[in-house]
Structure 1
Amino acid sequence: MPIRIPEDLPAQDVLSGENIFAMTSSRAAQQDIRPLEVGILNLMPNKIETEVQLLRLLSNTPLQINVDFIRIDDIAPKNTPQSHMEAFYHQFSDIAKKKYDGLIITGAPLAHLQYEEVKYWDRMTAILDWANRHVQSTLYLCWAAHAAIYHFYGIRRTLLNNKVCGVFQHKVLAPHNELLRGFDPCFFAPHSRFGHVDVEHWQNIPGLEIIAQSEQAGVYVAASEDKRMVFVTGHPEYEGQTLHEEYCRDTDVGLFPAVPKNYYPHDDPQNEPIVRWRAHGSLLVSNWLNYFVYQTTPFDLNQLAANKKVHQETS
């Protein structure tokens, strides 16, 4: 069964054109099952592009999913029409009393900003604490993964002079963990970030398991033993051209970015990028939905608060 999204959401046409089954709300209402409730806190500037990327991954499952898009503030995004935000996004205050089976918090293009310098950091920490009480399992991507590690465990990322950017090979360190069920022992995934957390810091977090790691990019996937928190430091949702578009954008504004590693044949930006992470990215999100959300969430979400283990907050 597919994801259920609003009938007029632009992503509907894109997904249909790719032969991805996304059910409209009216059709889903005719089915007598409880769909999963999944929220997406979208912090990326191009909301529509990120919506398509994440919905594509969420669609590869037999589960029916209701998706709520959540915004962190009232500021009109630079690359997304305000009318789109008003039509398809919820203010956090509107859904604060709701409980979710799953929540995805995206990365954010915050470059060299320290957390306390982020204009919405207070709201971000409030949402992180709320998720511990209202969400069965939360998937943190890229910047959000580092932000959550800092908020809950007090581990501050190192800001690098050179961006970790490219497609890197990773090794599965925990082959019996359900999150990577079906993965090859070695797989590729894209990264695009300035932040870095040393593996020793990840290893010192109690109750956290490092599941996949790269020699070049560091820890890629880690998860809490209770399956409530999943940290992914890269971008499994990225499309084939996303890193290329980032490289061209940074080049056009005079930032002189390094060529993304292991991305273009012969590291030549004139060549068509090699896409070799899509299958594993899709499988990662499908496994999260099935084993960390669907298999663990209570049928009655009102029971979630009593079962939820709240992690120690250190900030």
Structure 2
Amino acid sequence: MERGNDTQISEFLLLGLLEEPELQPLLFGLFLSMYLITVFGNLLIILAVGSDSHLHTPMYFFLANLSFVDICFTSTTIPKMLQNTQTQSKVITYKGCIMQIYFLIVFAVLDVLLLSVMAYDRYVAICYPLHYTVIMNPRLCGLLVLVSWIMCILNSLLQSLMMLRLSFCTHFQIPHFFCELNQMIQLACSDTFLNNLVMYFAAVLLAGGPFIGILYSYSKIVSSILGISSAQGKYKAFSTCASHLSVVCLFYCTMLGVYLSSAATHSSHSSAVASVMYTVITPMLNPFIYSLRNRDIKRALKTFFVKETPRGQLSKD
């Protein structure tokens, strides 16, 4: 079996999104701004959940974990892109590429699994409200997150080890701004049948499976909401799911759109541009979706920043 360590290529070239040098400063500023907004917004969510005891519930526990994963997800790709743009270099080492693939898969699949866990949480809250605290106990919540991490780490480890068996002879230009698993497999000059088989099997199991779970949960949720007699009760029940449903639609629709457009146009550059949606835009929008219409998050942040106000300033007031 051929190993990647035997390849003659020790580094790859990330072609990025734009070839025009005069547009690189604009691209750098745009992605730096989006990255800072993503990190700051998700940190605020984690801060709000951690500082307010009223938010120590399963729903906000999963939300804080999702925010942490989103920070890690964007940090896997954007800093390297910003560094290459600033230094006008397109180089990424072979080891760096493998590590980027490893962490990218970990956090991308974690996003999917956490969204499915959050759908289950909303299903229990709406369909079994009287048993919610018993079913969604701290032990189960911690176990769900732990199992999600273990599954993602093992899957990513398998995919990365499968990458090491491939050889790269002449094609070393990656038509992306990060090392993407499917693109890397296409660049290999050795047999990739087993890699494709494992990749697609994992995609069906770890992306398709949770998606089916989300659809099932929401079918039960909709059925339960329609059974509520009062309009106010229906609105209250639906409002608890609206933010999560928006994030699910945004994440799955953008990811599906990337691969459908890539398959239709056969353009690697179009795929790279489209992938910005789920790797950058979606993690950046998640904090806004969850906080803009959420009074609990707003109250927790307001309380935290009021507490952090210097005592001298409060006494003067």
| TM-score interval, smaller chain | under 0.3
Question: Which structure has more strand as a fraction of its residues?
Answer: 1
TM-score when normalising by structure 2: 0.26
Question: Which structure has more helix as a fraction of its residues?
Answer: 2
Relative contact order: is structure 1 or structure 2 higher (C-alpha 8 Å, sep ≥ 6)?
2
State the structure with more CA Rg.
2
TM-score when normalising by structure 1: 0.26
